[in-house]
Amino acid sequence: MTLFVATAAKNKIEAMTWQKLFNLPLFLPVLSFFVSAPFSGVFAIFPNYWTYRGFNLLIEGKSSGGYLLIGLASSILLLVLMIKGFTRSHFK
């Protein structure tokens, strides 16, 4: 989150706005537990959706390794993209 805010914001007020907007997708995938199964896949674009699903299966005693690995891979991909954007905007 810090890399995204540091890349996108030009001043402190804008950084606070970006921080609030960026926190919303962190908890948005929780809604997937309250909608029917066909619509829960809409939240799969968020990396933490896979982690939430994996932990839910872990609590239920089922195999959750696939979900957790997808969540880890998508989080690492997002982190790499944010680092590239940060270095491009600040060290150019």
More confident residue, 87 or 6: 87
Instruction: For residue 71, give the nearest of 33, 29, 35 by alpha carbon.
Output: 29
Q: What is the mean pLDDT of the chain?
A: 83
Distance CA 67, CA 71 (A): 6
Token pair, residue 61, equals 């005693």
Exposed / middle / buried, residue 8 (Cβ in 10 Å: 0-12, 13-18, 19+) = middle
More confident residue, 10 or 61: 61
Domains of the chain: total: 1
What are 13-37's pLDDT values in tens digits? Answer: 888 788 877 777 777 778 777 887 7
Average pLDDT (59-63) is 90
Residue 82 has pLDDT above 90, yes or no: no
**Model pTM above 0.85:** no
The owner of tokens 């600040």 is 90
Token pair, residue 67, equals 């979900």
Residue 80 has pLDDT above 90, yes or no: yes
Amino acid at 1: M
DSSP state of 62: S
Q: Which domain holds residue 69?
A: 2-90
Looking at the chain, the whole-number percentage of residues with pLDDT higher than 90 is: 8
